Every structure is written in C-alpha cells, then in structure tokens.
Amino acid sequence: MTFSDLGLISGNEIPGSYGDFVTGPGGSPGGSYGMGTGWTPNVEVAYSSVEGDGTVSQAFLTYWETGYGDLVGNAYPTSNGLYGRMTFTPNAGFFVTLESFNMAAWGGGDLTPDRLRVLDSGGGVLWDGSSTTAPASGHATLTPNVTSDAAITLEWGSNWNLGIDDVAFSESVVPEPSAVLAISLGLAALGRKRRRSIR
C-alpha cells in the first residue's frame, strides 16, 4: 500500500477500506496496488490512532504527501502523542504476513519511535523494532516478516512526525489437517526407508 495515488491532500483521512480484500492492481476506494508476492483477497485492513493504553482515539490514520524523508504519501497518527495502528485480519483458513514497510521522520531531525512493533490479536509483541531510527532524509526499510492465522497489528509512535509508507503484506492458505497428516506420514515412511537402506 502506497497511499500516494488515493487522490488525497495532506491532512485528509485515509479511507478505511483502502487495502481491504485486494484482488488486482486497481481497487476501491481508488488507488492502486502492487502484486508483490500475491494479491490479498482474504485480508481486511483497518486503521486507527490510539492512546498509550490502546484506547482508540480515532478509527483512522491521516495522510501526508511529502516531508517524511524521501517518502511520497504517508500514513501517520491523527494527533501528536497518539500511536498509529494498521491491523491486518485474514479470513478463516488463511495466514497473513506483514512483510515490510518504510518509515521516515518529518521535519528537521531523525527520530526514534518509543514504540514500533507488531502485535498479535491478544496484544502480545511478535516483533519489536523500537530501536530503529527514522531518518529525516531518506527512509528506513523494515522487514518484520510476521505471519499469523489471526489479526496482527503494526503499531508505531507516539510522535506524529513518524510516517509509514509502502506497506507490503501477503496471504497464504492454512494447510488442511489431512494435508499436514499426509506430509507427516510421508516423511515418517521416508525416514524408515532410509534407516533400512543404511543398515
């Protein structure tokens, strides 16, 4: 998700449906998507700006065109002191993977977020990048590569001068139990055959 071709002006709310159930390069509410490692027709994306305890202050993020390093089209929390969140929820029977994103600082100096992490559906930390410096020129590329069959949330802040762009995520099918069992049995049989041939 790049945010830059949504037709927004700086300070606008990012549409809540942007990134939902993507089946091709064009979609609603506008904008476009890169295929990356595949389309995501079974993943819903939600945005919010939250207090430090997770209480939702606004159920959206805000858009800013330029000024966050060299990034064009950025998502940031609605007010200074809040944390931005993007939540990726797969349909039943699917995994979602948050692969990578870019982050940069707005204004005159580099910033280190007090939180930059990926949370599981219960609020547990799956990945922590809080020691990352967001540059005011250029940008940092982060690669959590976190996969789950339940919702995962990218959270950053609490400075609204930290912007996120170029969010890459993918989906994959959860293997059916019968397929996992067949693979396990096949590996066990292969192991027995190998032991016999070694004797």
Residue 184 placed within a domain: no
Please name which of 27, 176, 161, 151 lies closest in space to residue 81, comparing C-alpha atoms. 161
Give the per-residue pLDDT at 150: 98
Question: For every residue of 142-163, which 3-state class applies, written as one string?
Answer: ECCCEEECCCEEEEEECCCCEE
Residue 16 placed within a domain: no
Residue 156 placed within a domain: yes
Give the per-residue pLDDT at 163: 97
Cβ proximity of 95 and 40 under 8 Å: no
Give the per-residue pLDDT at 195: 58
Residue 18 placed within a domain: no
CATH code for the domain in which residue 163 is found: 2.60.120.200
Residue 96 placed within a domain: yes
Residue 59 placed within a domain: yes
* Burial class, 151, CB count within 10 angstroms (exposed 0-12 / middle 13-18 / buried 19+): middle
Maximum CA extent, the chain: 72
Give the per-residue pLDDT at 108: 83
Phi-psi region of 47 (alpha: psi -120 to 50; beta: other; left: phi over 0): beta
Residue 14 placed within a domain: no
* pTM for this model (two decimals): 0.86
Give the per-residue pLDDT at 192: 64
Q: How confident is the model at residue 198 (pLDDT cuts 50, 70, 90)?
A: low
Residue 32 placed within a domain: no
- The whole-number average pLDDT for the span 42-48 is 97
Instruction: Say how many CA atoms lie within 13 Å of 11 toward its Cβ.
Output: 0
Residues 6+ apart with CB under 8 A from 122: none
Q: How confident is the model at residue 28 (pLDDT cuts 50, 70, 90)?
A: low
Q: How confident is the model at residue 179 (pLDDT cuts 50, 70, 90)?
A: low
Structural domain of 147? 43-174
Domain count, the chain: 1
Per the listing, tokens 């967001």 go with 134
